């Protein structure tokens, strides 16, 4: 068997292809490891006792998934309805209600859970809640990085509740007229005035990323094998 010398073009294209496919595999391995760490942190925090929290919060990522309690009142007249939230293949909304912490000017968005779209997207659900003094308990959620957006946060409608497309605390603060804290409180399941509370930590599990990594590495190996096979000949050629 003889080796046929590849052209520089074929060699370059093959090398670049193997490099980028391998790079994608490494990236998927890194994502899998990151999500393993997130899951470990979530499991560590979710059953912990309630933690004290000092407002204002400047580094919300350090509080992520900690359980806290706040005393204050809901602001029922200025609620946000997060669009395009899916549960069990059904489209609905997540309800975010501002909560004014007692004896302070601090406002925290409480995620009261998910509700389905019942009739029409033109009619938002009835989500009024009383504004009596209460204590709410739940888990701190700080988003990972900036939201992925394809447009504006809302359509400019000034009516309440306000339909929004993503969470942006700066933009929501402007809409509501208060400075919101840079995190949400995911209301505990045993707390009153909540809806369906079944938040996902993330869409893809670490195992899914590992499977993708195997696919990318397999494609890189296949490309290498194809390159070898195409340049091996049974007879010597000029």
* pLDDT per position as a tens digit, 200-227: 877 677 888 999 999 999 999 999 999 9
Write down the residue that tokens 């490099």 correspond to.
19
Are residues 20 and 134 both part of a single domain? no
163 is a domain residue:
yes
Task: Express each pLDDT in 17-39 by its tens digit.
Answer: 999 999 999 999 998 888 888 77
Q: Is 201 helix (H, G, I), strand (E, B) or coil?
A: coil
58 is a domain residue:
yes
Are residues 84 and 136 both part of a single domain? yes
The answer to whether 144 and 202 are in contact (CB under 8 A) is no
List the alpha helices (DSSP H) in 6-148: 8-46
Higher-pLDDT residue of 120 and 111 is 111
46 is a domain residue:
no
Give percent of the chain with pLDDT exceeding 70: 94
Are residues 71 and 125 both part of a single domain? yes
59 is a domain residue:
yes
User: Considering the entire predicted model, what is its pTM?
Assistant: 0.75
Residue ranges making up the domain that contains 103? 51-187
Comparing CA positions, the residue from 13, 168, 181 lying closest to residue 99 is 181
Are residues 77 and 176 both part of a single domain? yes
Cis before residue 161, ω within 30 degrees of 0? Answer: yes
What's the pLDDT band for 40 if we cut at 50, 70, 90?
Answer: confident
Are residues 107 and 55 both part of a single domain? yes
């Amino acid at each position: 068997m003889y080796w046929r010398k590849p052209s520089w073009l074929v060699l370059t294209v093959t090398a670049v292809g193997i490099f980028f496919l391998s790079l994608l595999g490494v990236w998927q391995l890194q994502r899998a490891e990151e999500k393993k760490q997130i899951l470990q942190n979530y499991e560590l925090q979710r059953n912990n006792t309630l933690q004290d929290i000092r407002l204002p919060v400047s580094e919300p990522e350090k509080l992520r998934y900690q359980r806290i309690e706040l005393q204050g009142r809901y602001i029922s007249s200025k609620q946000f309805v997060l669009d395009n939230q899916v549960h069990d293949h059904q489209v609905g909304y997540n309800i975010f209600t501002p909560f004014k912490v007692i004896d302070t000017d601090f406002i925290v968005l409480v995620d009261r859970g998910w509700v389905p779209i019942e009739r029409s997207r033109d009619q938002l659900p009835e989500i009024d809640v009383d504004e009596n003094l209460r204590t709410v308990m739940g888990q701190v959620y700080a988003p990972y990085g900036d939201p992925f957006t394809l447009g504006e946060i809302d359509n400019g409608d000034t009516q309440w509740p306000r339909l929004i497309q993503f969470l942006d605390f700066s933009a929501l603060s402007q809409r509501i007229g208060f400075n919101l804290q840079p995190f949400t409180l995911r209301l505990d399941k045993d707390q009153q005035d909540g809806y369906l509370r079944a938040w996902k930590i993330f869409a893809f599990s670490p195992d899914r990323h590992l499977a993708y990594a195997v696919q990318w590495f397999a494609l890189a190996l296949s490309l290498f094998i194809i390159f070898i096979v195409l340049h091996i000949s049974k007879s010597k050629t000029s």
